[in-house]
Structures are given as structure tokens and as C-alpha cells.
Amino acid sequence: MRTLKVELGERSYPIYIGRNLLQHTGAMSAECGISRKSRHLIVTDESVAPHYLKKVKDSLESAGFQVAAHIVPSGESSKSLNVYEEVMTTAISSKLDRNSSVFALGGGVVGDLAGFVAASYMRGITFVQLPTTILAHDSSVGGKVAVNHPLAKNMIGAFHQPVMVLYDVDTLTTLPAREVSSGLAEMVKHGLIMDREFAYWCLEHASDLLALDPESLTYGLERGCAIKAEVVSQDEREGGLRAILNLGHTIGHAVEAVGGYGRFLHGEAIAIGMAGSAMLAESLGRADLYHETVAMLKALHLPVSLPSDVSVDQVMEAMQHDKKFSEGQMVFIIPEQIGKVSIVKDVPVAAVRAVVERLQKEGENG
Amino acid sequence: MRTLKVELGERSYPIYIGRNLLQHTGAMSAECGISRKSRHLIVTDESVAPHYLKKVKDSLESAGFQVAAHIVPSGESSKSLNVYEEVMTTAISSKLDRNSSVFALGGGVVGDLAGFVAASYMRGITFVQLPTTILAHDSSVGGKVAVNHPLAKNMIGAFHQPVMVLYDVDTLTTLPAREVSSGLAEMVKHGLIMDREFAYWCLEHASDLLALDPESLTYGLERGCAIKAEVVSQDEREGGLRAILNLGHTIGHAVEAVGGYGRFLHGEAIAIGMAGSAMLAESLGRADLYHETVAMLKALHLPVSLPSDVSVDQVMEAMQHDKKFSEGQMVFIIPEQIGKVSIVKDVPVAAVRAVVERLQKEGENG
Ligand SMILES: NC(=O)c1ccc[n+]([C@@H]2O[C@H](COP(=O)([O-])OP(=O)(O)OC[C@H]3O[C@@H](n4cnc5c(N)ncnc54)[C@H](O)[C@@H]3O)[C@@H](O)[C@H]2O)c1
Ligand SMILES: NC(=O)c1ccc[n+]([C@@H]2O[C@H](COP(=O)([O-])OP(=O)(O)OC[C@H]3O[C@@H](n4cnc5c(N)ncnc54)[C@H](O)[C@@H]3O)[C@@H](O)[C@H]2O)c1
Ligand SMILES: [Zn+2]
Ligand SMILES: [Zn+2]
């Protein structure tokens, strides 16, 4: 087992990464100071529950914790205010109190949803992350929690740090192949934004990663979590630096929204967005990285273009609602080199539109 | 104009109390550092909007701010997730960004609702309180924001401090009489929990307060806000001391929930709750304050008993969901003297039930 730490003063917390960890959830929760007098809630989804819910529940119960569970449908559509309200109803009916905890057992969807429940139930209770996807090496670290609004992604949320991230890599063996690639998009993103060597490592080990080779996977997740943790420790509430984690996300979120949350997986959408950011770097005359970026993404079996039936107008419209659209100007994370990006505050909307159009042309051509 | 300050380190903020303040909203907002590049949202309700919305909007616009407005129905039922989602929709459609602000123009309902919108829109934006009820001298100070769940009050929320409270006492002239009394319940509560002299002052000036005599009103609001600010400064997130502000609220919230949010006004419900707390102090052999407490509440035209059609069982059931029901034990704020309370952690449920039954008997007797 490897241990990392997110340094945030009194909100600091450990990330444990390794095999066979879920069966120790109870013991690790006790160590974290979680109360045995209060009731707790596991939030998970329909695909994860059959594999891992019993293991987590048993572990917590044998350690003397009282737990209820709420199972949401799988997929992005569960990050909605409706599902949020249903989880709240379960939390209240299960008599959770101020000393209760919410355990998120699943991928980024479950983590973001359960995290916002924990952030706002009785104005905030304890939160534990039990990630079960590759993508969740990103989403489970850093305390950003949210649900979607029909008009735009992650619009409704909070900053609410977990007290522990328990990352059992054995859970990844049941992940569908498309989800594996989607998660690797965030992994290579962590290389692209600030670790050149790691980006190339991801390219070289692409087939090992796709095959879920335990050693490569553990290294990749550890390095990804470490980069995320470092950025978050420096800028918890996204006052500045943290924005670099949004590489590919401005276009990516718009693509997800226009696709109706479900057509594109999050990692797929941001892969398209990262290809777009590299195009933008090129068209703004800042860097010539498009072909190299696309090669990396393709090696991880990720899409790099926009299908022809996706409306460019709708993508542009959705982008206007993005949180990175600040004070009337378009903020973009632009790659400068492999392993280095800049936050550019006034990218012309016309340049962005040209990129979205070119992303679609690339789709038609190849 | 009187100025108080809530001392919370980097989250400190001023409370301005006085006449004719709303027409300076724009200038005061500029002083607060609110951005002229972003768009802002005024949230208000159907009873307040006809009187004061134009004044606030004009003031902000002449100071160079771009503002949209969202008007919710009047009353407690607007503190719901449905209305919350509607306000979110307006915020997104009005293109609010991370540097935008939400202005709450209204009573505690608007403040709590708009505050939770501000706390969670894009994970938190700036919040300004423009209280227009007497009750809001309490609700606008301290950063507790929330909406209700059908099963229990204020279950879904956050701590989110405003950057300024601008309290224009001229707005109180249009308040219906029942709302005046309801607000005075929280005012006398501030005396009952920690200022004996102020509690008696409220009793002596009951008729002036009910008649909205400007001088008495301003003094009462100032003293009420000051007590609230002091408690909040010492314990922002209710780790301990802040709980004393909940005098009367455990029973009060249950009564509100059972009444279906609307039958009892918040201040009416907590007046019944404060009468109950005094009964409890008596039955636990701690203090003999019931008659004096009831006299104070009656002088302010507040109810002190439970109508016979309210189900005691339902009130007891609703209380189990209360946030103050911690780790399986019932926490109660119990008066010790006029101006002094204790937090008692393990009040027997049977004693509480006896009190609720007696509150109803008092109602039947007269
Ligand atoms: N909070 C953050 O900082 C942050 C960062 C990145 C992404 N996100 C969010 O994360 C979400 C995407 O996360 P995700 O890709 O993990 O999505 P997800 O949670 O929907 O998981 C993907 C799919 O895999 C299934 N699944 C999960 N674990 C499994 C397992 N071990 N075995 C079999 N099936 C399993 C799920 O049921 C789902 O169908 C997006 O909503 C995105 O916005 C948040
Ligand atoms: N956040 C906190 O710390 C805190 C503290 C105490 C109470 N509260 C909450 O506050 C709420 C009660 O607040 P409230 O009593 O102000 O309720 P409210 O906001 O519903 O206002 C009471 C009524 O008066 C009307 N009104 C408001 N201002 C008016 C004016 N100037 N002229 C004419 N009509 C006006 C409103 O439309 C409403 O019908 C409850 O939901 C309670 O839980 C919160
Ligand atoms: Zn992402
Ligand atoms: Zn109150």
C-alpha cells in the first residue's frame, strides 16, 4: 500500500492506494475518527454495488459501525438535483446526524454526488472517498463536489474535502474498456499539465495501462494523484494555479452537455477538449503540439475529434455557461510544451469557434 | 446609520442598520469590492418586490452594476429544492460567473434560499443580505443558509457568510402585524439566551416594538444583531456555544414541519418552543421561569401553546430528524435564568414528550 497526503492544514488527508483495501474500510474509518455512535451512509451505483457494496458494508459493520446504503443508477445522469434529493431523503430517513459520514463507493459520478450530499447535509458532514474507477484518481482528490444543471455541468456544488481516500486498485478489474480509456484521459492530462516525463511514460505504457497491468496502473494512479494533490495543496479553492487542471475541460464540458450527459464519457469529452486546446495553441501561434498530443490520446484509445452530428453552435452556446467564462472573457488553459500549460485570460471567441469547427472536420476526415 | 461588525477573520463583514439605506445599495456594494464586469442577481419575493425591488435595482444600476432579478412566491414553501433549482436556472441564464454576487432582498426565507444559491452556485459566489423583516436581524447575520426537506427543516444547506448586511429599517413599515410579532420572537430570544437586561427591555417596550416605533425598533435590532454577531464570532460553525441560539428551536422546528411550513410562522413556532423549554427547565428541576417567559412572549403577541389538532406523535417524530438530535441523544437548550441558558446533552425523550403534551393542554385551557 502506498500513502500520499493532501496538505491542506487542518483539512489535510491521506490517500491510500493499493490492493485489497476495501476489506479494511472499517478499520481505516475507525483510525480516521469516524463515530460509532452515529449512523453512516454508503452511496454507490448499480454497476458497482453488486461487486463491492457487501465488502464495504461488512467491513464497516464488523468494525462496529451502523451503515445504510443508497444505490443510484449508473452514469452521469445521476449527478442531478433529483437524485441528490433522493439521497438526502435516505440520509434523513436513516437518521444521519451531524457526526455521521457519507462514503462514496464508485467513480467520479458517485464521488461528486455523494460529496455534495456530505457538503450540504445539515450544512456539512464527514466524507470518505472509496474510488472504483481510474478516472476517480482525479475526482476523488481535491474536494470539488457537484451536481449538474440541465444547462451546464458541475454548476451546483461546493468545496468539501474528504477525510480519507481509500483507493483499492483491485476494483478496477471489473471496469469496462471504454471507462478504462476515459480514466486514462485524466491520467495523461496530469502529465500534460506539469510532468513531461510522466506524459511520455503514459504514452510508452499505453498498452500496459489499457490491459490493467497492476504495476503500471498503480504507478500511474500514484503519480496522477500526487500531481493532483500538489496542485490542490497550493490552491484549494481555485484562486489561480488550480485552473490548470481544467486543461481540455472548457470544450470538454460543453461537448458533454451537448451530448446530453451520457453520449460522451467525461474522459472522452476532455480528450476531445485536449486535442482542441493543442489546436488553439497552434492557431494562437503559441506552440506546435497538436500531432504529439493526438498521438498520446489515440494510444490510450481516446477520441480526438467531434462527430459530425454534434452542433458547433450548441457547443459554443454551452461554453458560455462554463465557470471558466469569467467577467465576459474566455479563459483557456493552453499547452506551451508537453508538461507545461498557461492560463490565458482573453482568448477570442472566434478562435475557439474555429477550433470546434476544425475538431469536427477532423472527425469527418478520419 | 449604525455599524456593527461580525468578526470572523478574513470572512469578517459589516452590518449597517438605519433608515433610507436601500437607495445606497449600489454605492455600498462598490465599496465592498463587488465587480462591475460580472452580472449579479437579486433574489426577492412577491410581497417584497412591489415595494423595494425597483429601488435596489435602480441603485445598483446607477452605480454601474448589471443586475437580473428572480422573484419567488412569499412564504416558507419557497425554501425548497424546487425553488432553489429555479433560482439556479435564472442565475445560469443570466450568465452569472464566479465573480458575480447574489443579493437577498427580503426576510429569512429569501435570505436562507438565496444564501444557499450563493453558497453552491459554481461552488460559491459573493452574497449580500438586504433584510426586510424584523426576524431577519437574526437570519441575515451568521452565514447559516439552507432550504428545507419535506421531512425536516433546514436539512440542506451550508455556512456561507455575506460580505455585507444592509438593514434598512424603513422597509419594516410595510410588514404585516403577525410578521412583526414573529420577528420579535427572535429578538427576545437574544435577550433570553444571554442578556437579561435586554430581555426585560423587550418586555417593557413591547407595545412600542409592536407599533414599530423607529427608535425602539432600531435599538432592539441593533442589540439583537450584536448578540448574534458576538455568538457567531466565537463559534462560526456551531462547534459549541452557537447552539444556544437554538433556544426554542428543537420543538419549534418540529411544530413548523408538522404544520406543513406555512401554518405557523417561524417566530410563532419558536415562541411555542421557548415556552416548552421553560416548561422543560421546570420539569427537570433546573429553573422556574415558565410564567415569566410566557408573559414576555404574550406581551409580544406570540403564541405559547399548541393547538389541539396538532399531533403530539408527529411533533415527536419530526424532532427525531432535528440536527440537534446528535448521536442518539436529545440535545436541548434549557433556560437557567432570564438571560442565561445551558446546553443539556441527554434530555430524556419522555420529558420532552410530556412538555409537548402540556403545551397542548395549555392551548385547550385557554
Ligand atoms: N470532482 C472532481 O474534481 C472531478 C474530476 C474529474 C472528473 N469529475 C467527474 O467525474 C465524473 C466521471 O467519473 P467516472 O468516469 O468515474 O464516472 P462514473 O462514476 O460514472 O463511472 C463510470 C462507469 O463505470 C461504472 N463503474 C464504476 N466503477 C466500476 C467498477 N469498479 N467496475 C465496474 N464498473 C464500474 C459506473 O457504474 C459507471 O457506469 C464526471 O461527472 C466528472 O465531471 C470530477
Ligand atoms: N439563517 C438563519 O440563521 C436563520 C435564523 C432565523 C430564522 N431563519 C429562517 O428565516 C425564515 C423566517 O424569516 P422571516 O420571518 O423573515 O420570513 P419571510 O422571509 O417569509 O418573511 C415573512 C413574510 O413577510 C413578507 N415580507 C418580508 N419583508 C416584507 C416587508 N418589508 N414588507 C411587507 N412584507 C414583507 C414576506 O413576503 C413573507 O410573506 C425561516 O425560514 C427561518 O428558518 C434563519
Ligand atoms: Zn475532469
Ligand atoms: Zn430561528
The CA distances from residue B142 to A227, A361, B33, B165, B233, in Å, are: 37, 54, 20, 10, 8
CATH no. for residue A323? 1.20.1090.10
Q: Which residues of B are catalytic?
A: 123, 144, 186, 228, 238, 242, 246, 249, 253, 266
* A85, A98, A123 ranked by CB distance to B326: nearest: A98
- State what percent of residues in chain A have pLDDT above 70: 98
Same domain, A190 and A252: yes
How long is chain B? Answer: 366
Domain boundary among A174, A194, A210: A174
Same domain, A230 and A253: yes
Would you state the pLDDT for residue B324?
A: 60
- Exposed e or buried b for every residue in B243-276, given b needs 16+ CB within 10 A? bbbbbbbbbbbbbbbbbebeebbbbbbbbbbbbb
Same domain, B170 and B310: no
Out of B47, B217, B246, B300, mutate this one to test ligand 2's pocket (max ligand atoms within 8 Å of CB): namely B47
Same domain, B153 and B255: no
Q: CA–CA separation, B172 vs B191, rounded Å?
A: 21
pTM over the 0.90 mark: yes
The number of the ligand 1 atom at minimal distance from the alpha carbon of A74 is 37
Q: Is the CB of B114 under 6 A from ligand 2?
A: no
Task: Decide which of B143 and A321 is more confident.
Answer: B143
Q: CA–CA separation, A193 vs A333, rounded Å?
A: 9
Confidence check on the interface: ipTM exceeds 0.85, yes or no: yes
Same domain, B345 and B233: yes
For CA atoms A46, A48, A54, A57, the dihedral sign is negative
The CA distances from residue A11 to A228, B76, B196, B257, in Å, are: 16, 35, 39, 35
All three cell numbers of B168? 434598512
DSSP state of A293: H
What is the SS3 assignment for B15?
strand
Q: What is the pLDDT of residues A290-307, one digit of tens each?
A: 999 999 999 999 999 999
Which amino acid residue places its CA nearest to atom 9 of ligand 2? B108
Sequence letter at residue B103:
F
Same domain, A38 and A124: yes
For residue B363, what pLDDT band results from cuts at 50, 70 and 90? confident
Whether the predicted pLDDT of A17 surpasses 70: yes
Q: What is the pLDDT of residues B255-280, one digit of tens each?
A: 998 998 789 999 999 999 999 999 99
Domain boundary among A174, A209, A243: A174
B74 labelled ligand-binding? yes
Would you state the pLDDT for residue B138?
A: 97
Q: Is the CB of A35 under 6 A from ligand 1?
A: no
For CA atoms B239, B226, B115, B156, the dihedral sign is positive
Question: Where does residue A242 fall: left (phi above 0), alpha (psi -120 to 50 degrees), or beta otherwise?
Answer: alpha
Would you state the pLDDT for residue B292?
A: 97
Same domain, A21 and A163: yes
Sequence letter at residue A82:
N
Contacts of B79 in chain A (CB under 8 A): none
Number of structural domains in chain B: 2
Q: Which domain holds residue A6?
A: 2-174
Q: Mean pLDDT score of chain B, rounded to an integer?
A: 95
Q: What is the pLDDT of residues A101-127, one digit of tens each?
A: 999 999 999 999 999 999 999 999 999
Q: Is the CB of A273 under 6 A from ligand 1?
A: no
Same domain, A186 and A82: no
Same domain, B89 and B216: no
Q: CA–CA separation, A296 vs A209, rounded Å?
A: 13
* B89, B116, B144 ranked by CB distance to A151: nearest: B89
All three cell numbers of B143? 452565514
Same domain, B84 and B221: no
Same domain, B118 and B18: yes
* A88, A152, A159 ranked by CB distance to B155: nearest: A88
Task: Name the catalytic one among A70, A154, A160, A186.
Answer: A186
For CA atoms B325, B326, B329, B332, the dihedral sign is negative
Rounded (10°) angle between helices A349-365 and A312-320: 140
Would you state the pLDDT for residue A321?
A: 75
CATH no. for residue A18? 3.40.50.1970
Average pLDDT on A19-25 reads 97
Domain boundary among B174, B208, B230: B174
Same domain, B32 and B142: yes
Q: What is the pLDDT of residues B287-320, one digit of tens each?
A: 999 999 999 999 999 999 999 999 999 999 988 8
